[in-house]
Amino acid sequence: MMGSPQLRPLFGGALSAVVPYNVTDISELREIPDNQEVFAHPHTDQSLIVELLEYQGQVADQDAARYHLEDIAGSNKTQEPGAFEVSDVVALPKAEASLLECSSAWMLKGTQCVSKFDEEARNTVSIHLGLLRLPQFSTDILITFNDPQSISPDSSSASAAQTHRELWTVDDFRRTLLSLTLHDPGLFG
């Protein structure tokens, strides 16, 4: 029996968004940087990350989602040829976004071959990245949905690959992205 998505306060209530009902808040398990909210699926390796990043004014709006994905790929050590690819970048109509303050909104779909915890084993992960640009607050907000497609049998995630209960969907990600709402601009300093 699936539960209903829930409105969840983020960053101490300065933002909120609708997230899947069955999220595990990773900050309850380990230290998370102050600029991130990280949620994991309780039974799979799916994750949903809301991240506040410095606005990249030198990057055109239509290129900014790819710019941030390349930055993530660098952090994940997946910059060698073929380790990640972008299949689609689309502008979202601003009228669809609850974050009225954003100057533009973008969705990117890509794939990344990444290992977990510096393991040798590599997993293929679909990445759905939402970007909400807030130049007036010098902030780019990223919402990233990591959806593993292929888990190496040698990965520490191999056991999670066997349990496909109530997977999150791209619709869940889209709901989170489009429902993000700002309650306290003081969040941005």
Number of domains the chain contains? 1
| pLDDT, position 1 | 47
156 within a domain of the structure (yes/no): no
pLDDT classification of 82: cutoffs 50, 70, 90 = low
Q: Please give the average per-residue pLDDT across 106-116, as a whole number.
A: 80
| pLDDT, position 8 | 96
157 within a domain of the structure (yes/no): no
Residue 21: give the domain boundaries.
6-151+166-188
φ/ψ region of 11 (left if φ > 0, alpha if ψ in -120 to 50, else beta) reads: left
Report the C-alpha gap between 182 and 41 in whole angstroms. 25
Q: Which two tokens stand for residue 186?
A: 């003081």
Which of the residue ranges 65-69, 75-79, 160-164 has the most confident prediction, judged by mean pLDDT?
65-69
Query: Count H helices, E strands: the chain?
Result: 3, 10
DSSP lists the bridge partners of residue 91 as 106
Is 137 a residue whose pLDDT tops 60? yes
Which alpha helices (H) appear in the chain, and where do they start and end?
Answer: 61-75, 158-161, 170-179
User: For the whole model, what pTM was predicted?
Assistant: 0.85
CATH of the domain at 73: 3.40.1000.10
49 within a domain of the structure (yes/no): yes
94 within a domain of the structure (yes/no): yes
CA angle 118, 145, 33 (to 5 degrees): 60
159 within a domain of the structure (yes/no): no
1 within a domain of the structure (yes/no): no
32 within a domain of the structure (yes/no): yes
CA angle 127, 125, 120 (to 5 degrees): 135
Report the C-alpha gap between 157 and 148 in whole angstroms. 10
144 contacts: CB under 8 Å, gap ≥ 6: 47, 48, 49, 51, 72, 127, 128, 129, 130
Is 184 a residue whose pLDDT tops 80? yes
pLDDT in tens, 12-70: 999 999 999 889 999 999 999 999 999 999 888 899 999 999 999 999 999 999 999 88
Report the C-alpha gap between 187 and 14 in whole angstroms. 6
158 within a domain of the structure (yes/no): no
Does 3 or 28 have the greater pLDDT score?
28
